Structure 1
Amino acid sequence: MQWVILALFAVTFTWIAASFWTAVAGFLLQAFRRDPLSLRRLHAEDGTFGCLEPGRRTAIVMPVYNEDPVRVTRGIEAICRSLLATGQGGKFDFWVLSDSSDPTVIGAEERALRRLRARLGDGVRLRYRRRQENRGRKAGNIADFCERWGAEYEYMVVLDADSLIEGPTLVRLVQTMDANPNAGLIQTLPLPVRQQTLFGRFQQFANAVHGPMLATGLAFWQANSANYWGHNAIIRIRPFREHCQLPVLPGRPPLGGEILSHDFVEASFLRRAGWDLWLLPQLPGSFEELPGNLVDFARRDRRWIQGNLQHLRLLAEPGLHPLNRAHFLFGAVSYLVSVFWLLMLAAATVVALGVPASPSGGPLGGEGASLSTAYALLGGTLMLLLLPKALGVLLVAARDPGRFGGRGRLVLGGVLETLYSVLIAPLMMAFHAVFVAGVLSGRNVIWSAQPREGRMVAWSEALRRTGPMVAAALAWATLLAVLAPAFLWWVLPVLVGWLAAPALVRGSGSRAASARLRVRGLLLTPADITPGPALATMVRLEEQPAQAGGVSVLLRGMRRMPPAPGRAWAGGALRKAASGN
């Protein structure tokens, strides 16, 4: 059993160590203001930029699937107005690529976008296309656009329905692509914003403090073989069309069939074809939204788990760059590690309950040596887990704590976020382990519209989803209290998290708790204190009554608009959806 524990610990510790050294690399590069790709010293930008090259157009594409039309059009309007303020709006077209299937949503979608087109005028062309069938999901949606209209554009910026990106960021992305003709894809760092729930606010704060540091370390060791996260990235269309057709995996879902997480695979195919892929964490103004509670967040992870486990079947794909294979492996291990942790805890429990073992025959030596080694390994693991959080806070505190409400509030927020992450870690471990088991047992996931708005989880739902954790924690604690009380203290953090799981799930969607923290100036981020133009416009639009009176009024009494396969409108007129329309 000690050998089992050691093997499982080796895997989990390696994963933690890799994340730790990524954080250390990011800390050093940011502390000395070095570019993670060239290692040149970074200089503060003056906020100005030249005109884009004539004759090259960029499409901003947003795939949507039964999304809230009011929320979508607000985001589009905020992006377009920020882009128009740069004076470069005429070089961009904004495409809404709808795969919506709900007749009410379809009608509302078209009406809302026509109204937005009238408000924006001709500065940025707003174009709309809807497919009758959601073939290939988002990847199929993007592929359809590239085949029909890709020849009109040099680049495309891919957004999700909850993405927000500043106009200057869009211009700099295009300029960077223009200046680097071998760049096939540039990924920005999308930071969460506009989070109103307790869970969302903790996630937003953690990403704002630690995200740039971790992404800088990631960009350093990835070099020109970066990954693609599926949105908030600019892509050179011609090589994407030529090289990024997704294979269909042999066998049935969940591990066979269509690839669920397309982005990693598309990045690996671009790199295999010789194109550079970069992550630019120092480029600001890229945002996204998150599911607002633990249940919806875990549900999104369920889809990612299935997609990432599918990637393991591509490890032997010929011609891939070693780093892209590493992306496939790390993506899967990031979820499999939860299973390894649970197995390691189970094995340790068996040992603690007195399974006979040789006093000196195990890999950790005799009983005294084992206990000493266990304490050393525990201390080392805690250091690797917690030190990156301290480094992130230290970096921000030394550079510009005012962007987070001041040094004192920043440090207190860091302590609260660390405690919260320790509390919810056992829940996420259990969720991920169950999801992995479900995928491996053949349970397929249905990819539906994602919940964008935070909601309070009902007690009944919280108990239904976490009841098995509570029962397992009670049984485990009772068994250890009777037979191995000394080991009970080792697993106490996991037990506390599982016993408190219903309350943690319920409270994760609390807007009142989030508001109380914000009133006290805690967990503030730069997006809260000094939002950019697009984010400020988004906030202003939300504070105003919706043009159609909100979703309920917008959808009320609307008749079904018949689907028009392969048709699109631009400038208020319907056009046939064909290449070069």
Structure 2
Amino acid sequence: MTSRNPLLRPPAHVAATGGVWTLLVVVEWLLVSPATAVDYAYYALASIAFLPFALLLTNFAYHFAYPGETLPREPIGGERPRVAVLYTTRNDVVPLCVERTAEAVEHPVDLWILSDSDVPEAVATERRFDGWRRYTRGVARGGKSGIINDWLADHGGGYEYFVTLDADTMLAPGNVTRLVEHAEHAGNDDVGIFQLLKEVHPDLATTPFARIVGRGVKWSTRISPPVMKLVYGRNTYWGSAGLIRTEAVRDAGGYDEHLICEDFVLTVKFDRAGWRAVVVDDRSYEGFPLDLHALRARTVRWVRANRQMLPLLAGRGVSVGTRLNCLTPVMFYGVTPVLLSLVLLASVESRVATAAAPSVAFAAGVFAFVFLHRSVAAGREVGDFLATATLETLVVLGMSIRVTVALLFGATVWKPSRKTSREFSWSESVAETLPELGVGLLLAAAVLRNGDDPSVGLLVGLWAASFLSTPFILRYTSASIDGPTPEKRPHDPDAGLHDD
């Protein structure tokens, strides 16, 4: 067992981010020169929003300035450690992922399907895969975390390492071999989780929406994580496609069956027990929501999951690097109601429309960076970049109302998302997006009322267009799906009951 690591002091890079934040707040004060109550409200909100933006800017700069680091590997000789690949499913098996993963594995492994499925069609599909052992249990307690804990209790003693896969995750050729070589190197003996980077696989992103918006995932799953390791000295586990030391997960007390973010929670538990989580310069594949309806449901679920684990991060014994890694997505979800409030203030008093109201060019540059930075992952094709930048900006801003509600008022009881997709009619699309349409019309009226102010047109107009486009995006993205997608029926992870 590895000895406990001391808590890290804030890295110098984080201090630099704080310096950028302070500078931007000073610039904000000088440019806005608050005088009215609305001005002061705007200034206070903008000051809050600057922190995640400064952090984003720091990460963006480090990405281009530093090549990152290479995690050492040790070629495996002699007796090979035992490894299990665990494919977790509950009525949402994706045959392509199961088959491709089995073909990609080179290191000798045991392939397991951990199933809580109770739909006959799903059970029949799981049983037809040759070479896979199927693990089931009587009561679906604790969801994914519960079934992994039960498998560890029954079979974990026979394996040094295991890899967990979600239903829409697949391994690439050589992933497991390279992960084990990292884990067997003496210099990595304090690493409990070796997380693979991810990329959306085209065979799993089968709609134009998934292909276009899915390109931006490369930023958060391949470009940003190595930079986060450099800035924070730590990484986080993402819940799938990572090699885990069986010794470490037992040392940390196993998976938490009560919190939604089982991946971030496991990262924190590992950190407290003296184990690190790191990303490796290697990638696996995953799917992406096929339409706006599925993406909205997943985003709301993630917002609630991140909010639920905040008390855990406030506890003792967690390193600064792990706290910052886990808090980063919370900060960006948290800035959504702040930005929405800024937009509503701008619709009331146009002089506070942007952080740099006197300079529309500067404001345009700020917003272009904030909303388009992920589009660099689209590559050098101008058409791909523009398509990703446009659709992702409209979608992200258009979901801000739902993110705000989930963050501030969302129910604490969580159920897994549905992975079914269906075509929405025009009337259904409008009914599903009435809050967005209402706010969009309000903002559009503000633009018309202040039509001579370019700042209002830039900020308020962009958000108005995003809200007003939501029913169109929902309608056309749902209509682009040709066939059914795998089904996952929501359930109460504690009671093991199903909801329709």
Q: TM-score, normalised by structure 1?
A: 0.69
What do the CA deviations read for 1:295-345 (whole angstroms, capped 9, x no partner)?
111101121111111122123211111122213322222212111111112
Is structure 2 residue 53 aligned with structure 1 residue 82? no
Is structure 2 residue 155 aligned with structure 1 residue 184? no
SS at match of 1:234: strand
Change (3 A) 1:2 1:307: same
Paired residues for 1:39-188 under 5 Å:
51=76, 54-68=79-93, 71-72=94-95, 74-83=96-105, 86=106, 88=107, 91-102=108-119, 104-105=120-121, 108-109=122-123, 111-117=124-130, 120=131, 126-179=132-185, 180-188=188-196
> What CA distance in whole angstroms lies between the structure 2 residues aligned with 1:484 and 1:51?
68
Q: CA RMSD in A?
A: 3.2
> What CA distance in whole angstroms lies between the structure 2 residues aligned with 1:81 and 1:187?
20
Is structure 2 residue 437 aligned with structure 1 residue 470? yes
Q: Percent identical across equivalent pairs? A: 23
Is structure 2 residue 346 aligned with structure 1 residue 411? no
Matching residue within 475, 478, 481 for 1:509: 478
> What CA distance in whole angstroms lies between the structure 2 residues aligned with 1:345 and 1:329?
24
- The more displaced of 462-471 and 20-29 is 20-29
Quote the residue 1:238 is aligned against.
247
Contact 2:348 2:446 in 1 (8 A): no
Paired residues for 1:299-338 under 5 Å:
299-338=297-336
- Which amino acid in the other structure matches residue 173 of structure 1? L
CA drift of 1:196 comes to: 1.6
- Which amino acid in the other structure matches residue 349 of structure 1? S
Higher relative contact order (CA closer than 8 Å, sequence separation 6+) = 1
Contact 1:198 1:509 in 2 (8 A): no
Contact 1:159 1:231 in 2 (8 A): yes
Change (3 A) 1:411 1:36: farther
CA drift of 1:493 comes to: 0.7
> What CA distance in whole angstroms lies between the structure 2 residues aligned with 1:36 and 1:418?
29
What do the CA deviations read for 1:120-159 (whole angstroms, capped 9, x no partner)?
5xxxxx2111122221111112111112211110001011
> What CA distance in whole angstroms lies between the structure 1 residues aligned with 2:271 and 2:259?
18
> What CA distance in whole angstroms lies between the structure 1 residues aligned with 2:357 and 2:97?
56
Contact 1:37 1:219 in 2 (8 A): no
SS at match of 1:167: coil
Contact 1:96 1:127 in 2 (8 A): yes
- Which amino acid in the other structure matches residue 347 of structure 1? L
> What CA distance in whole angstroms lies between the structure 1 residues aligned with 2:69 and 2:182?
16
CA drift of 1:212 comes to: 2.9
> What CA distance in whole angstroms lies between the structure 1 residues aligned with 2:417 and 2:133?
22
Contact 1:65 1:449 in 2 (8 A): no
Q: Is there any run of 5+ residues in structure 1 with no aligned partner, and where?
A: 121-125, 249-257, 354-363, 398-409, 516-541, 543-549, 553-581
CA drift of 1:479 comes to: 4.8
CA drift of 1:52 comes to: 5.8
Quote the residue 1:5 is aligned against.
42
Paired residues for 1:419-568 under 5 Å:
419-439=390-410, 443-448=411-416, 450-451=418-419, 455-479=422-446, 481-482=448-449, 486=453, 488-489=456-457, 490-511=459-480
Change (3 A) 1:458 1:429: same
Quote the residue 1:198 is aligned against.
208
What do the CA deviations read for 1:463-505 (whole angstroms, capped 9, x no partner)?
1221221122223333553477636414111111111211011
CA drift of 1:444 comes to: 3.8
Contact 1:338 1:433 in 2 (8 A): yes
- The more displaced of 4-13 and 316-325 is 4-13
Contact 1:36 1:217 in 2 (8 A): no
> What CA distance in whole angstroms lies between the structure 2 residues aligned with 1:302 and 1:390?
22
- Which amino acid in the other structure matches residue 466 of structure 1? T
Contact 2:112 2:133 in 1 (8 A): yes
Change (3 A) 1:390 1:329: closer
> What CA distance in whole angstroms lies between the structure 2 residues aligned with 1:171 and 1:507?
42
CA drift of 1:348 comes to: 2.7
Contact 2:237 2:263 in 1 (8 A): yes
SS at match of 2:179: helix
> What CA distance in whole angstroms lies between the structure 1 residues aligned with 2:368 and 2:129?
51
Q: Is there any run of 5+ residues in structure 2 with no aligned partner, and where?
A: 1-37, 487-500
Change (3 A) 1:383 1:419: closer
> What CA distance in whole angstroms lies between the structure 1 residues aligned with 2:402 and 2:387?
23
Contact 1:61 1:97 in 2 (8 A): yes
- Which amino acid in the other structure matches residue 265 of structure 1? V
What do the CA deviations read for 1:186-213 (whole angstroms, capped 9, x no partner)?
1111211121212201123333478533
> What CA distance in whole angstroms lies between the structure 2 residues aligned with 1:239 and 1:275?
7
> What CA distance in whole angstroms lies between the structure 2 residues aligned with 1:313 and 1:66?
32
- Which amino acid in the other structure matches residue 190 of structure 1? K
Contact 1:305 1:332 in 2 (8 A): yes
SS at match of 2:334: helix
Is structure 2 residue 227 aligned with structure 1 residue 217? yes
Change (3 A) 1:370 1:330: closer
Is structure 2 residue 278 aligned with structure 1 residue 278? yes
Is structure 2 residue 378 aligned with structure 1 residue 382? no
- Which amino acid in the other structure matches residue 184 of structure 1? G
Matching residue within 342, 349, 371 for 1:344: 342
> What CA distance in whole angstroms lies between the structure 2 residues aligned with 1:475 and 1:131?
53
> What CA distance in whole angstroms lies between the structure 2 residues aligned with 1:7 and 1:330?
20
> What CA distance in whole angstroms lies between the structure 2 residues aligned with 1:291 and 1:551?
10
> What CA distance in whole angstroms lies between the structure 2 residues aligned with 1:198 and 1:159?
25
Contact 1:339 1:429 in 2 (8 A): yes
Change (3 A) 1:476 1:209: closer
CA drift of 1:82 comes to: 2.4
> What CA distance in whole angstroms lies between the structure 1 residues aligned with 2:68 and 2:210?
30
> What CA distance in whole angstroms lies between the structure 2 residues aligned with 1:172 and 1:130?
30
> What CA distance in whole angstroms lies between the structure 1 residues aligned with 2:373 and 2:41?
29
> What CA distance in whole angstroms lies between the structure 2 residues aligned with 1:319 and 1:377?
42
Higher Cα radius of gyration: 1
Contact 1:335 1:436 in 2 (8 A): yes
Contact 1:210 1:392 in 2 (8 A): no
- Which amino acid in the other structure matches residue 188 of structure 1? L
Change (3 A) 1:389 1:65: closer
SS at match of 2:399: helix
